[in-house]
A = this chain, B = another copy of it.
Amino acid sequence: MTYCLAIKVREGLLFASDSRTNAGVDQLSTFSKMFTFGTEGQRVFTVLTAGNLATTQAVIGHLQRDIRKGVEPNLNTVETVEDAAHYLGALSREEQAKHSAGKIDTSASFILGGQITGSPPLLCLVYPEGNFICATDETPYLQIGEVKYGKPILDRIIRQDTPLGEAALCALVSMDSTTRSNATVGPPIEVMVYATDQLRLDRHFVFTADDPYLTDLKLAWDMKLKEAFTELRRYSWQPVESRAADQNASQADIAPSVGAKRNR
């Protein structure tokens, strides 16, 4: 499995990916799922991948080959980030189709984000079908792979005015919730921080499992969540007889009856 996410805030773009792949539970491997393209000062793209590894590797290889051989379109010549997403989607469909005759699911999803001189940064999620959606001010993050465990913290923290560094930290916390609950998502965790108009991808970070900052963050977040939990106001959880005078309490059944119950 995989967990990748990307965030588009006013300050720029943020990408994060895990590095664990599995073909059955007895075949775990480590592969990077973050790839960069572009020319400093002119255009930059970061691509995150999820799904069938043969498909994603073929697509990334195809993107690289098209640039090397000058095939049109390629990521060095597309006019917009949307055009790049459209092109990536077409390559993905093509690669999936080559091997889709068997029983194996060859589908793959991608997040592509970046900036081309003269236009604002853009973030797109390319579906297995080749079509895509872009992040907006209202929905500033996109996820692919095992997306559910890490979604609640993003929903709470990420807004379009969240500073880029805070978005990066939130991505790490989201990744931590996912790696704790799903054994097929794991380190190294890669993070790419891109500030608008920088047109340079020099803030790429790789956190291995024993990275001191990541280890400390996991412990600190766990401790703080537990602290936050202990600080919540307790409910009485007493039978309704004992709470007759408690106006705030919920009403409850007095005793069980066969298959019946009374709610307020």
**Residues of chain A having any CB pair with chain B under 8 Å:** 32, 34-40, 44, 60, 63-64, 67-68, 76, 148-149, 151-153, 155-157, 164-165, 168-170, 172-173, 177, 180-181, 188, 190-191, 193, 200-208, 211-213, 216-217, 220-222, 224-229, 231-235, 237-241, 248-261, 263-264
- Give Cα distance in the complex from A226 to B234, angstroms: 20
Residues of B within 8 Å of A153, CB to CB, are: 225, 229
Contact at B202–A180, with CB atoms within 8 Å?
no
Q: How many copies does the complex hold?
A: 2
- Give Cα distance in the complex from A261 to B237, angstroms: 56
- Give Cα distance in the complex from A172 to B233, angstroms: 12
Contact at A233–B217, with CB atoms within 8 Å?
yes
Interface of A is mostly: mixed
Question: Which B residue sits closest to A223, measured CB to CB?
Answer: B228
Residues of B within 8 Å of A250, CB to CB, are: 205-207, 211, 213
